[in-house]
Amino acid sequence: MRDIAIYAGTFDPITLGHIDIIKRALKIFDRLVIALPNVSEKSTFFDLISRIQMIRKSAIEFEKNISVETFDGYLVDFARSKNIKFLIRGMRDEVDFHYEYEMANANQHLNSDIDTICFFASMSDANISSTKVKQMAKDGQDLSAVVPECVKKFFDRKDVLCER
């Protein structure tokens, strides 16, 4: 199916950078499946349910065009199970390039029917990462420029002060 793609990630938490990629991917694809691994390779600050809730609330304006789903095992197997042939990724700098290149090659090796499409992050998002957002929250900095409004509330609820 050409009108649908998967945008997978850990989204711990979703940032304005991720939202920008969703927006731009939806100019090419009619629908996006935002996919999170049930078991993350990274240890996460937010649990899976909270990360899914944050995505749903942050991307409410696109709700007709996205679904948020979880998967186990290889991403390409999840894509194949849904008959989806395109994976979306965002790229901010040369470090991302090497990581994305390796991952795209690994996925290509696992399933040559599935292609990865990378979007360059907007200049304003080039310095955002989920790790940086968490550090800013711990330092008590304003998150308005880096995450959607609703994500700030999740940080408030989690009481990041306790984790300093």
For the annotated catalytic residues, the residue numbers are: 18, 42, 92, 130
Does the footprint of ligand COA cover residue 17 (CB under 6 A)?
yes
Structure tokens at 84: 């989806």
Q: Rounded to an integer, what distance in angstroms lies between the CA atom of residue 129 and that of residue 13? A: 9
- Classified as helix, coil or strand, 135 is helix
Structure tokens at 40: 């993350």
Q: Are 7 and 34 in contact (CB under 8 A)?
A: yes
Does the footprint of ligand COA cover residue 34 (CB under 6 A)?
no
Structure tokens at 58: 């942050």
The CB-of-66 to ligand COA minimum distance in angstroms stands at 16
Task: Identify which range of 61-69, 126-134, 135-143, 156-164 contacts ligand COA by CB under 6 A.
Answer: 126-134
Structure tokens at 43: 């240890």
The CB-of-135 to ligand COA minimum distance in angstroms stands at 9
CA atoms within 13 A on the CB side of 132: 13
Does the footprint of ligand COA cover residue 128 (CB under 6 A)?
yes
Q: Rounded to an integer, what distance in angstroms lies between the CA atom of residue 37 and that of residue 126? A: 24
Does the footprint of ligand COA cover residue 116 (CB under 6 A)?
no
The CB-of-102 to ligand COA minimum distance in angstroms stands at 9
**Binding residues for ligand COA (CB under 6 A):** 8-12, 15, 17-18, 21, 37, 41-42, 74-75, 90, 92, 103, 106-107, 121, 125, 128-131
